[in-house]
């Protein structure tokens, strides 16, 4: 259970008075669930490992088990809505997901399937789907670092780079649930190709994968890890180093290893994070200039490096956020950590679904 440090208002007062929210968080490593109270506390939390080597129904079976666990709670009957947060890509207009890290699901109708599982257990609830970046945004605006900001950009910087927007105190997911996907803003028009098909995207420079790859290409290696000559962009050795964190070498060849080296003063590692920070600063400033956000909240595994990432972002921000209405733009770390997925799924449901009628 997570207990807020002080009473927090729910995303909407009417929704807060109306009961519990079923929250489901779907990711590449785990599928979690909880019943979330109007003050953000969670009960009946449960999780399953995301199945590997199975078909679409095999993955869905884990979701079904999570819903079954929640339905066994004595508070189940008090649930009035359901929020699903999922790794993307998502298409909320169709209720489908095609998570990069869940290969068995391609255009999988997760929203309809979860709604059917709820109904089978006596809970015919309105249900909403949100991508994980949008869910994190809803969570941080409700209970985290974006609380009190009417206009905010929230970001996840990890294996990829995602995000979401709060505009005029409202979650703004866009027609398909992908608004605020800052990772695919181009900040280098003649930059290297991105996996999305564009060039110079933030994700291709500032994701954990990109930071580690670039550092290795420049000659950085943790002692005993793969050599710079074999760790080429797109080469299998580099890919293995990303996934194994230098397994078998006793060294960390991932972005976390680069961050540790940067903290120790390694010039290539520092340059890798400076490059990533500059890309993030440019994208944050562009977003703020476009929609007048006044805070950027950054979470995810790469953000865990602290000032190794945040210092270069802040150092470069002034070069891009130059207009008077964005000069006070803040960049701050996310605060909810691993709780953001479930809290965000609940918050998205409270912000996006109509309030139920009074009982």
Is residue 12 pLDDT above 60, yes or no? no
pLDDT band at 338 (very low <50, low <70, confident <90, very high): confident
Give me the residue label for tokens 């890309």: 279
pLDDT tens string 134-143: 999 999 999 9
From the list 165, 103, 104, 159, the residue with the least C-alpha distance to 131 is: 165
Least confident of 9-23, 161-175, 196-210, 306-320: 9-23
Is residue 358 pLDDT above 80, yes or no? no
* Winning range, highest mean pLDDT, from 66-70, 177-181, 253-257: 66-70
Least confident of 47-56, 247-256, 271-280: 247-256
Is residue 218 pLDDT above 70, yes or no? yes
Residue 359: what pLDDT? 55
Residue 105: what pLDDT? 97
pLDDT tens string 151-192: 999 999 998 999 999 999 999 999 999 999 999 999 999 998
């Amino acid at each position: 259970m997570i207990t807020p440090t002080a009473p927090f208002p729910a995303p909407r007062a009417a929704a807060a008075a109306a009961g519990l929210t079923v929250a489901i968080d779907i990711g590449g490593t785990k599928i979690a669930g909880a019943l979330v109270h109007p003050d953000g506390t969670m009960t009946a939390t449960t999780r399953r490992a995301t199945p590997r080597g199975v078909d679409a129904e095999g993955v869905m079976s884990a979701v079904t088990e999570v819903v079954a666990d929640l339905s066994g709670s004595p508070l189940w009957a008090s649930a009035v809505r359901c929020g699903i947060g999922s790794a993307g890509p998502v298409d909320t207009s169709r209720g489908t997901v095609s998570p990069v890290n869940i290969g068995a699901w391609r255009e999988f109708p997760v929203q309809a399937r979860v709604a059917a599982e709820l109904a089978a257990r006596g809970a015919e609830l309105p249900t909403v789907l949100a991508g994980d970046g949008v869910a994190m945004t809803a969570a941080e605006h409700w209970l985290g670092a974006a609380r009190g900001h009417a206009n905010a950009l929230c970001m996840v910087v990890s294996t990829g780079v995602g995000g979401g927007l709060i505009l005029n105190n409202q979650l703004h997911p866009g027609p398909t649930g992908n608004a605020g996907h800052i990772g695919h803003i181009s900040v280098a028009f003649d930059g290297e190709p991105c996996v999305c098909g564009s060039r110079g995207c933030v994700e291709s420079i500032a994701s954990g994968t990109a930071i580690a790859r670039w550092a290795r290409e420049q000659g950085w290696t943790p002692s005993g890890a793969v050599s710079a000559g074999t760790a080429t962009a797109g080469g299998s050795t580099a890919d293995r180093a990303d996934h194994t964190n230098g397994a078998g070498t006793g060294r960390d060849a991932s972005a976390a290893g680069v961050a540790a080296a940067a903290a120790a003063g390694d010039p290539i590692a520092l340059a890798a994070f400076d490059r990533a920070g500059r890309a993030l600063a440019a994208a944050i400033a562009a977003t703020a200039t476009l929609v007048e956000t006044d805070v950027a909240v950054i979470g995810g595994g790469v953000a865990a490096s602290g000032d190794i990432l945040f210092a270069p972002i802040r150092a470069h921000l002034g070069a891009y956020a130059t207009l008077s209405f964005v000069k006070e733009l803040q960049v701050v770390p996310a605060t909810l950590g691993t709780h953001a997925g479930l809290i965000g799924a609940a918050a998205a449901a409270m912000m996006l679904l109509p309030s139920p009628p009074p009982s």
